[in-house]
Structure 1
Amino acid sequence: MGRSSRAARGPEPEATTGPGGRTHAQGPLSRPVGSGLAELRPDRDRPAAWSLLIDGAPQSLVDLADPTRLGFEYQRRLGHLIDLVAPPGRPLTVLHLGGGALTLARYTAATRPRSRQQVAEIDTALTELVRAELPLERGWQIKVRGADARGVLERTPEDSVDLVITDVFSGARTPAHCTTVEFTTLAARALAPGGWYAANIADGGALPFARSQVATLAAVFPELCLIADPAVLRGKRFGNLVLAAAHTPLPIAELTRRAASDPAHARVEHGRALTDFAAGAVPATDATAAPSPEPPPGVFR
């Protein structure tokens, strides 16, 4: 689930894009998939750009002409982590838990050629729609598995990936079994030395789910930070929060600089401030976890 820095505003009939991809002349598309009603909506200002929504909840934005463009705030924050996990241009091995329109896999492939990526997306009908209407470029090493994210994580070899990105939503909620200490321990096991774990979550109000997720990751990883809109952190609106965790220090200063210079300004919480943020929160376990909260009515309008 995401929030775009600029909403899509309708089709441009004369626009075109590359071979095999959708054109704005084709207009919006709606199709039932396993997780609900999938919609592809055109971006008025960019002829090859499309937003994916599931049951009205924004999931991804793809620009077929420029896969390095990340239109959603949370995706840009995850993009910063992709940029910083290794020296520029070095190929990565990435495991994406949750696929959507494969925006972050496209970004990684474009910015880090020869990267090897695996995507776990349980909704095979959604993957078929995305591949048909928003095709991947030839030569990209992106393998999509039609399976549950946790099941794929359980089968991932130890010390095998540079980055695990969890962006798992059923509708607009993260399933409980992908929010626990046990799940996070599996992610830590999959990481190669120096690798990072990242998660996109959503919460609002007093942020009880986000606080519990910080406590959950802190039970597994010694290094941790949270990136979010200040209004979300103050409980003024429901929105996305990105968590990053590692066994080695994270580049907090550079993440802070990038988050502050983004068109949608974000704050990076870490160290004592993050400990205080999660004070009193209890880590989620397989026995106690619940899905992330339902977004309030009208949040996506």
Structure 2
Amino acid sequence: MPAATPAGTPSRPRIELIADDEHPGGTMLVMDDVRQSYVDIDDPTYLDFEYIQYFASVLDTLPDGPLAVTHIGGGALTMPRYLQASRPGSPQIVLEPDTELTELVRTRLPLPRQHRIRIRPQEGRAGVRALADASADVVLLDAYADGRVPASLTTLEFLTDVRRVLKADGLFLANLVDEPGLRYIARVLAGLWTVFDDVAMVSSNDVLKGRRFGNVVLAASSKLDVERLSQQIARQPFPAGVRDREQLALRYSSFRPWTDADCAPSPEPAREGWRIR
């Protein structure tokens, strides 16, 4: 019988790496029955989750060549592997505090040779604080605890620090989740508008129309190529859309940012039948 967890101590998530019988080379990372990451060890450019495809579409609007990328949240290292394959030579930092998860992933799903991916056992807030000014082309947020985005990773103070780490034309990408109405996302947008000149939202059409709980990708920079991004998203296998800053402002401009003194994690998902998409 396992030892009891001390009162007040978070329980250890159950981690599984499950081979995809329908896709040779594919492996799913599952934590406490929530599908967290998918990796094709033979073809890192194969992206299974919809939100990961949105990430790739936004990145494809940037000039060709290596990118200095900081990832907040590691999972099975899907995006670091993708960038290593699609933009060889990209120096990447992954902030992942779960050392047991990192060891399992690196053992079962080895990183490619000659990669430039460095994994630091740090949580996102402290890890970003330790980074140098203007040291990243891209900061990518994809961090969850028990299916929810931690409150500390969407506040105005945190977003201000992310902007410090990014170069002048750097890009911030975030994978978030919300319920119909997107009231949580609206407060994140308020923080992004305070810090960045341009913001866009990408999601499936049913999430954008408020029909279900789901993933939303936010992109923020000094200037986004929304026209090219819309063309990229139009090629997605499932219906998805892009909302630019003007469209978002019409609906969400009255909200105030999350702050360190007033913040909350993303809404809790309905577990039955839900997956990170």
Q: Which runs of 5+ in 1 are unaligned?
A: 1-33
Q: Which residue matches 2:80?
A: 105
Q: Which residue matches 1:39?
A: 16
Contact 1:35–1:123 under 8 Å retained in 2: no
Q: Secondary structure at the match of 1:144?
A: strand
CA distance in 1, matches of 2:84, 2:12: 26
Query: Which residue of 106, 120, 124 corresponds with 1:131?
Result: 106
Whether 1:228 and 2:203 are equivalent positions in the alignment is yes
Aligned length: 266
Whether 1:263 and 2:237 are equivalent positions in the alignment is yes
Amino acid at match of 1:40: L
Query: Which residue of 19, 32, 43 corresponds with 1:66?
Result: 43
CA distance in 2, matches of 1:49, 1:163: 26
Structure 1 residue 194 displacement after superposition: 1.4
Contact 1:117–1:142 under 8 Å retained in 2: yes
Whether 1:76 and 2:25 are equivalent positions in the alignment is no
CA distance in 1, matches of 2:152, 2:245: 27
Q: Which residue matches 1:9?
A: none
Q: Which residue matches 1:56?
A: 33
Contact 1:82–1:108 under 8 Å retained in 2: no
Q: Which residue matches 1:253?
A: 227
Contact 1:56–1:300 under 8 Å retained in 2: no
Amino acid at match of 1:252: V
TM-score, normalised with respect to structure 1:
0.86
Q: Which residue matches 1:237?
A: 212
User: What is the aligned-residue identity percentage?
Assistant: 40
CA distance in 1, matches of 2:273, 2:264: 21
Contact 1:238–1:299 under 8 Å retained in 2: no
When the two chains are superposed, the root-mean-square deviation of aligned CA atoms in Å is 1.4
TM-score, normalised with respect to structure 2:
0.93
Q: Which residue matches 2:260?
A: 286
CA distance in 2, matches of 1:228, 1:125: 32
Q: Which runs of 5+ in 2 are unaligned?
A: 1-10
Q: Which residue matches 1:216?
A: 191
Q: Which residue matches 2:3?
A: none
Contact 1:35–1:54 under 8 Å retained in 2: no
What pairs with 1:106-255 in structure 2 (closer than 5 Å)?
A: 106-247=81-222, 249-255=223-229
Structure 1 residue 272 displacement after superposition: 1.9
CA distance in 2, matches of 1:77, 1:99: 17
CA distance in 2, matches of 1:216, 1:299: 31
Structure 1 residue 84 displacement after superposition: 2.2
